[in-house]
Structure 1
């Protein structure tokens, strides 16, 4: 048994092709909007603003005869997007995270958030467990008798994994991969739900806003709550104009605007 800590790695974020944006804006007359745009690590916010302005052709006053004035400040513009619940433009902004050393308890909770996400999870049908990595919350680590018994259970399960691998001869020469897969699929049934695993989780900003709120709520499961508190911090640093409305209260991320 190996003690681990859940971790989050932000591995992909939106990237704009400003030359293509310029080509489009040249067609509709919005070049001046692009000229005043801050391109410094703000592609997510820039894409959200672009998508919103395209809907009303509001890059400049007069491009749409119905638009006589516009919000020029991006933060003000995106705040209006959030407050008016114009959340569809946020679906264009996808971020990908590696969730590392998270339990299958957490992944079973996470799959309930289906709209706007993509998931690729480590398959224990193919990945054989030579050890059982496991996370213990602080309160559990402080309980000596609990840790003694829990460690004993995990050690026994880990030893059984090793015994099965030897019993099935999985490391012998010439064992077909299909046979290894078949046996490994059976062996994973004896791994606890708390065994640490990993996945790539991609979500758009509309989904992220909802999931951060739901999974940091006081009543949320403690591991997923801790993880999405970290994701909230990452996203506030990545796109402050899109996540700066949250107030953190006892660890719960409460948005200024819901149902975006």
Structure 2
């Protein structure tokens, strides 16, 4: 048994092709928008969200749409208005990918309920044979010596059984076909605890992220997933402050200033 801590790593973010954007804006008369925005490493997410919003109303500058006589030129104010007006569809164009590492299957079973606006690739125990049992314990459990002794003993016994099965089935012997390894490994996973730590790549758009961060850090959410999405929230405030800066954190719960975006 190996004690682990859930980790969240942001591994992919939007990448805007400004040359293509520029050609489009030259056709519709919105070149001035490109002159107003920043184009640093962390600007593409917010620029893409603003781009999507302005397409809807042709609001690159006053007069392009006869109904638009003035526009917001400050991006922070523009995006806050998007949130306040619940124009969430434009946020679905902006996606981020996270590696969730050493998170339990308890947490991933909760997470997969959020399907809209996500993509998920999780480590498969049908193919990946267990040789140890990484496991996360909350602080209150670690402070209980008898609980930890019994839990560690049980996990060690399960871990030893996994090793015994691999030897019993001869999975490491020369000539064993992969199809047999897969079949036996699939059987062996049935004896692994649901709290076993695993890993997955999880991609979600901004609209989904806002919803999941709020729901999975709420006081009634499962404690491990609250920890995970508190970390996600912290990353997103740094990545896109105009799109996540409306949250206040209250006893670990991320409460947005604007809901149902």
Aligned to 1:98: 99
How far is the alpha carbon of 1:75 from its aligned partner? 0.4
- CA deviation map 1:109-136 (0-9, x unaligned): 0011010000000000000000101001
Structure 2 distance, partners of 1:103, 1:34, is 44
Name the SS for the 2:137 alignment partner. coil
Structure 2 distance, partners of 1:75, 1:242, is 8
- CA deviation map 1:236-260 (0-9, x unaligned): 0000000000011111000000000
Structure 1 distance, partners of 2:193, 2:150, is 14
Structure 1 distance, partners of 2:37, 2:238, is 19
How far is the alpha carbon of 1:219 from its aligned partner? 1.0
- CA deviation map 1:52-82 (0-9, x unaligned): 0000000000001110000000000000000
Aligned to 1:26: 26
Aligned to 2:81: 80
Name the SS for the 2:203 alignment partner. strand
Aligned to 2:66: 65
Aligned to 1:2: 2
Matched length:
260
Structure 2 distance, partners of 1:104, 1:193, is 5
- CA deviation map 1:187-206 (0-9, x unaligned): 00000000000000000000
| Residue 36, structure 1, aligned to residue 20, structure 2 | no
Name the SS for the 1:147 alignment partner. helix
Aligned to 1:215: 216
1:105-254 superposed matches below 5 A: 105-254=106-255
The ranges of structure 1 where at least 4 consecutive aligned residues each deviate by more than 4 angstroms after the TM superposition are none
Structure 2 distance, partners of 1:226, 1:131, is 24
Q: Which runs of 5+ in 1 are unaligned?
A: none
Structure 1 distance, partners of 2:176, 2:105, is 29
How far is the alpha carbon of 1:36 from its aligned partner? 1.3
Structure 1 distance, partners of 2:127, 2:69, is 60
Structure 2 distance, partners of 1:87, 1:136, is 37
Q: TM-score, normalised by structure 2?
A: 0.99
Structure 2 distance, partners of 1:8, 1:217, is 19
Name the SS for the 1:25 alignment partner. helix
Q: Give the CA RMSD over aligned residues.
A: 0.4
